[in-house]
Amino acid sequence: MKLGFGMMRLPRVEGTNTIDLEHTKRMVDAFIAAGGKYFDTAYIYEGSEEATKAALCDRYPRESYYLADKLNGSDFAAKSEEEAKNEIRISLERTGAGYIDFYLLHGIDEGNIDNFNRYGIWDYMKKLKAEGLIRHYGFSFHSTPEHLDQLLTDHPDVEFVQLQINYADWEDPLICSRRIYEIATRHGKPVIVMEPVKGGKLANPPQPVKDILQRARSTSGRLLPTGRKNSDASFASWAVRFAASLPNVMVVLSGMSNMEQMEDNVSFMREFQPLTAEEHRVLEEANNALKQFADIPCTACHYCTPGCPAGIHIPEIFAVMNVYKMYGNLTEARNEYRWRPGGALASACIVCGQCQAACPQHLPIIGLLAEVADTLE
């Protein structure tokens, strides 16, 4: 089965932040019973590795599943080379897995790549593989197409990459899902997909998008592999199937949080059917409707950022604001605003105007930053 179980958004005991282990065990059992084998956790996912041990590693033969885990080299996770290289020892202790099938350099971007290089993590991965502690190594990625191309050129022994891919980000000028997918494919690297439903947003899209998908599924008589009519297909299923239909995709991760999500994903992924040409057309229409909610038409060219004296990551800030404009969830937008943009907040703008002079879209950036500050800070 092409579906992978992301162990980051596990169910919680009601009213607490404690992982519900009994619920998690039932989900693991259902996933394996449906033919699932790929489980994904990480050193920095609080409580996830321990829950993976209790629900999976202690209960199933080691050869019956694949475990993916991650080494995070960012400053917040590792203050030194020694701490970074010790993460695998801690991960193996927490999971009790004995070895890791797919080990990733976690979340590579322009802000942490120097750490991975300075700490010698690329060579360290080869050493871990030679020692039998890992079977395959790759990296998850949050940067530009050009950066990915350079990394895969510099490190041809990387065996796979994990990329953010969904129909909303496929042509997005900031995420560039299509371009990074094509670069990975050109380098011959299988792709593991993360965020196929964009953190759950495509499971509950804006009403105009729902209307398009509901209209399409109500007029289709095609049966899903389970025998259910296409009219029963969830909104999430459209997004997951979009990613899984890409020929170079090895696994599509879904961070399932309850049994209902598990049962839904398994229902259409157990005997997976790629999207038809008509379904691709429907998703293109849905994405066009989705774009109407992104009211700041920033193309993320970054012409505005090199000369910003305040160090504001303007395109990233506008991307978060557009999430708010699209979905109307102020709490979620404010939470995302605290970590996603990096650099200074919008309120740090000193109104020098260099960004507006550089913007090829002629956006009123100063005023837009003030709007962001008033809304999200």
Pairwise CA distance, residues 12 & 27, whole Å: 13
pLDDT digits (tens, 9 = 90+) for 225-264: 444 444 468 999 999 999 999 999 999 999 999 999 999 9
pLDDT digits (tens, 9 = 90+) for 299-321: 666 768 887 999 998 988 988 88
Residue 337 CA: distances (Å) to CA of 298, 328, 342, 343, 344: 17, 14, 9, 11, 11
pLDDT at residue 175 in the model:
83
More confident position, 77 or 105:
105
pLDDT over 90 at 94, yes or no: yes
pLDDT over 70 at 223, yes or no: no
| φ, ψ (nearest 5 deg) of residue 359 | -75, 120
pLDDT over 70 at 135, yes or no: yes
Mean pLDDT of the 205-231 span: 67
Contact 191/184 with Cβ under 8 angstroms?
A: yes
pLDDT over 60 at 224, yes or no: no
In this structure, the number of other CB atoms found within 10 A of the CB of residue 90 comes to 12
Mean pLDDT of the 342-360 span: 86
Non-local (6+) Cβ contacts of 124 within 8 A are 85
What pairs with residue 141 in β-bridges? 108
pLDDT at residue 218 in the model:
62
Query: Is residue 292 very low, low, confident or very high in pLDDT (cuts 50, 70, 90)?
Result: confident
Query: Is residue 60 very low, low, confident or very high in pLDDT (cuts 50, 70, 90)?
Result: very high
Query: Is residue 376 very low, low, confident or very high in pLDDT (cuts 50, 70, 90)?
Result: very high
Residue 303: name the closest of 365, 359, 362 by CA.
359
Query: Is residue 207 very low, low, confident or very high in pLDDT (cuts 50, 70, 90)?
Result: confident
Confidence (pTM): 0.80
Q: DSSP string of 52-113?
A: HIIIIITTS-GGG-EEEEEE--STTT-SSHHHHHHHHHHHHHHH--SSEEEEEEEEE-TTTH
Q: What is the mean pLDDT of the chain?
A: 90
More confident position, 57 or 230:
57
Residue carrying the six token digits 């050193």: 43
pLDDT at residue 341 in the model:
65
pLDDT over 80 at 209, yes or no: yes
pLDDT at residue 340 in the model:
65
Non-local (6+) Cβ contacts of 262 within 8 A are 27, 30, 31, 256
Pairwise CA distance, residues 308 & 112, whole Å: 21
Can you tell me whether residue 221 is helix, strand or coil? coil
Contact 32/64 with Cβ under 8 angstroms?
A: yes
pLDDT at residue 360 in the model:
59
Q: DSSP string of 13-63?
A: -TTSSSB-HHHHHHHHHHHHHTT--EEE--TTSTTHHHHHIIIIITTS-GG
Residue 259 CA: distances (Å) to CA of 9, 230, 263: 12, 21, 6
Pairwise CA distance, residues 193 & 140, whole Å: 9
| φ, ψ (nearest 5 deg) of residue 70 | -145, 145
pLDDT at residue 160 in the model:
98
What pairs with residue 192 in β-bridges? 162, 251
pLDDT at residue 185 in the model:
98
CA atoms within 13 A on the CB side of 45: 24
Contact 243/252 with Cβ under 8 angstroms?
A: yes
pLDDT at residue 329 in the model:
81
- The percent of residues in the chain predicted with pLDDT above 70, rounded, is 93
Mean pLDDT of the 60-68 span: 98
pLDDT digits (tens, 9 = 90+) for 269-282: 998 999 999 999 99
More confident position, 323 or 143:
143
Residue 288: name the closest of 176, 203, 193, 171 by CA.
171
pLDDT at residue 228 in the model:
46
In this structure, the number of other CB atoms found within 10 A of the CB of residue 314 comes to 27
- The percent of residues in the chain predicted with pLDDT above 90, rounded, is 68
pLDDT at residue 226 in the model:
42
Mean pLDDT of the 171-197 span: 94
Max mean pLDDT among 124-128, 140-144, 277-281 falls in 124-128
Return the H-helix or E-strand segment holding 149: helix 145-154
Mean pLDDT of the 57-67 span: 98
pLDDT at residue 323 in the model:
78
Contact 169/229 with Cβ under 8 angstroms?
A: no
pLDDT at residue 143 in the model:
87
- DSSP letter (8 states) at residue 350: -
Query: Is residue 116 very low, low, confident or very high in pLDDT (cuts 50, 70, 90)?
Result: very high
Sign of the CA dihedral 229, 231, 232, 235?
positive
